Structure formats: C-alpha cells, structure tokens
C-alpha cells in the first residue's frame, strides 16, 4: 500500500539520506563490526550533510525543520543498513536533541549545539542502571550539592554511544526524600575527573554499536551543567519518552521491511526439489502474512509519526507503536531466517545479523511488558 505521509521535500531528503548511507555507512560496515563502534568520520559526514541537526535551531548550527517526518525518513534509511547504526544516530539526533534544545540555557546551547550538529560532539543518555532496568524512578546514582556545583557518584549500563560520547545526559538522584520527584539531569562531559568508561559490552547483537558501562566517582559537575530544573529530571524524561518510543517504532518496522524484501528476492531464486522455495504454498502463505503485518504496522506507525509531528501523540499510543513494531519486527525476522534455511544462521548473511540485532527492541526504550502495563492502566485495568 502506498504511504501518503511524505511529500516531495521528504522524498528528496530520503534520496540524500540514502546516498549518505550508501557512501559513508555501507562500505564501512565490516570496519564498524570489527571495531565495535561507528567511526567518527561517519559522524562528521552525517553532520556535514545536516542530518544531525534536524531538531536544532539554525542559530546553533541546525536546520530546525520543524517536521518530525524528516527525522523518520533518516531513521528509516539508516535502519535499512543496520539496526544498531540507527540506534546510535537516533540516540544523538532524535533523543538527545530535545533535551538540549528544550531544557538548555542560552549558554549551554551556544556551547554544545554547534558541535552537536557537526558531529564533533557525540551524545549519550545515561538513564539505565545495573539494578534499575526500566524503573527510572529507582535510580541509585546520586548528586550532592557542593560549592558551585554537584558531586556525582554512581554508574550506568547498556549506554548506547557510551564508548565515545563526549557528553552524557545523566540522571541522578538529588533529593532521596522525594522519590521520583528528586531526580535531576546533568550534562557530564568527557574529561571530567572521576568520569570513566567500562568495557564495551559483549552483546548478542548490534555488535557495531559501542554500548558501554559508565562510572562516576566523585565527579564534580558545575551548576552550569545542570540540564533543566533541579528535581524535575524525572518529569523531563517522561515528557520526552514518547519521541524515543516512536523513533524506535520507525526504526523497527523499517529494519524488518528491508530484510523481508531481501528475503522475498532470495526465495524467488533459491530452489529446492526443482522449484523456487517461495513457490511452495506454505512459504507463499507465510510471506503473504508477513507482508500484510508489515504494511498494517507501517500504517499505524505512520499515523503515530504524523500525530507526533502535530504534537498530539499520547504516551499510550507511543507505547502501542513501540511494543507492536518490536513484536512484528522479531516475528518477521525469525521467519526470514527460517526461509533462508541453514544460510540464515550464517553471520555472513544480513538476515542472521538482523535477527540478532532485533531481539533487544522488545527490551529497550521500555520493555514490551512495561508498554503493555501502560496501555492496561490507561484502560482502567
């Protein structure tokens, strides 16, 4: 079914995004996989092309397009190359940008955003902790007031871009007596004494994304690096989770659809018993089901993208898009592996990598179980 949410400007932008991916990402994939990170050159090239400043005002080096559909287009094109590349870039231009733009002071914006847009300054978001998972209100990282700033102690884990981030938007507990209402956001920068990185985590999939542990030992963070209001960090995070989740949904279905398209071409050419394996009734019916699920899911996600662009996407609808797209993505990719037979289990085949990469989407950005809990509560259950 033809998608109707994009216009000529979006199509032209998609062509530019695809050209960037084909030129700067695809030829380097083996390097990224081997080094378990994205080369800085790829970030700088993305910045040069204007892909990192879509939500940043022009006076700070961005393009301030004011249209979330452009974010979605870039996410889709990168997702077609790799789910992990999409998550790394997405954390930066799609998730971090609203924190810096909406909550940053004029001095902070002048200091960080130009390099944010150029790719010289890479960001991460430090929320998840070893004992917390999806429970952001249970943070154990603390920040105690000191003369001229705060002293931060604690740790974060599963941090995308954590291996190379120059600035980490970090949630810390500033008033233990207030529970979730006693959390503050800090911009912790590379080079601050006591800020160290752990090993790159050995993950099942998404090998090329530099996911790391972060440690804070008596890190002095000046008042100038407080992001937003003191003790309102939890609210700041909740207000921006909808964009993170719709961004995840966009990437999920784009990633799955790309591999499904490649699988359809594969089963047309792969023969067994003298016939293309795609012509067997079971496989034909299975693929018909997968294509239908992909297109129906795409329609819902597209509707959510438009709703978010018009500032009417609810947290509950974002949760629906996130969990369902992750579910369908994993269902599609598992079937694609099966359709490839033994070759589907070989790492040299994109379908195998995609299958491994996708599994985490049912866990991050709020687990699918948490998403269903949010939806259930909204129904009065």
Query: What secondary structure does DSSP assign to 220-286, as a single string?
Result: EEEGGGEESSTT-HHHHHHHHHHHHHHHHHHHHHHHHHHHHHHHHHHHHH-EETTEEGGGSHHHHHH
Structure tokens at 171: 């949630």
Q: Is 312 exposed, middle or buried (0-12, 13-18, 19+ CB in 10 A)?
A: exposed
**Catalytic annotation on 244?**
yes
**Residue 225 · residue 186 · CB < 8 Å:** yes
d(CA 371, CA 361): 12
What are all long-range contacts of 303-312, with beta carbons under 8 Å and residues at least 24 apart? 304/246, 304/249, 305/5, 305/68, 305/69, 305/72, 305/246, 305/250, 306/5, 306/69, 308/68, 308/242, 308/243, 308/246, 309/67, 309/68, 309/69
Catalytic residue among 244, 262, 310, 369: 244
User: Distance between CA atoms of 360 and 380, rounded to whole angstroms?
Assistant: 29
Catalytic residues: 244
């Amino acid at each position: 079914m033809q998608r109707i949410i994009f216009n000529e400007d979006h199509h032209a932008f998609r062509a530019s995004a695809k050209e960037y991916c084909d030129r700067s990402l695809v030829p380097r994939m083996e390097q990224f996989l081997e080094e378990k990170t994205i080369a800085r050159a790829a970030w700088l090239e993305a910045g040069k092309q204007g892909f990192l400043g879509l939500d940043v005002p022009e006076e700070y080096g961005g393009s301030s397009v004011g249209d979330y559909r452009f974010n979605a287009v870039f996410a889709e094109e990168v997702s077609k190359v790799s789910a992990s590349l999409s998550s790394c870039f997405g954390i930066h231009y799609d998730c971090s940008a609203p924190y810096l733009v909406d909550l940053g002071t004029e001095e902070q914006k002048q200091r960080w955003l130009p390099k944010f847009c150029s790719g010289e300054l890479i960001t991460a978001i430090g929320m998840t902790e070893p004992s917390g998972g999806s429970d952001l209100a249970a943070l154990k990282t603390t920040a105690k007031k000191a003369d001229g700033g705060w002293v931060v102690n604690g740790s974060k884990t599963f941090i995308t871009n954590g291996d190379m981030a120059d600035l980490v938007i970090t949630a810390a507990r500033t008033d233990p007596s207030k529970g979730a209402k006693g959390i503050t956001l800090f911009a912790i920068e590379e080079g601050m004494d006591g800020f160290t990185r752990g090993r790159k985590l050995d993950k099942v999939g998404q090998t090329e994304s530099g996911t790391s542990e972060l440690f804070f030992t008596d890190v002095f963070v000046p008042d100038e690096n407080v992001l937003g209001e003191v003790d309102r960090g939890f609210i700041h995070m909740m207000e921006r989770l909808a964009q993170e989740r719709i961004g995840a949904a966009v990437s999920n279905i784009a990633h799955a659809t790309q591999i499904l398209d490649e699988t359809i071409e594969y089963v047309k050419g792969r023969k067994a018993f003298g016939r293309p394996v795609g012509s067997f009734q079971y496989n034909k019916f299975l693929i018909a089901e997968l294509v239908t699920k992909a297109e129906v899911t795409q329609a819902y996600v597209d509707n959510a993208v438009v709703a978010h662009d018009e500032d009417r996407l609810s947290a509950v609808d974002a949760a629906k898009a996130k969990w369902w797209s992750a579910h369908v993505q994993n269902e599609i990719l598992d079937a694609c592996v099966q359709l490839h037979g033994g070759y589907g289990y070989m790492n040299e085949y994109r379908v195998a990598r995609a299958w491994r990469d996708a599994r985490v989407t049912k866990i991050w950005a709020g687990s699918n179980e948490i998403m269903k809990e949010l939806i259930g509560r909204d129904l009065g259950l």
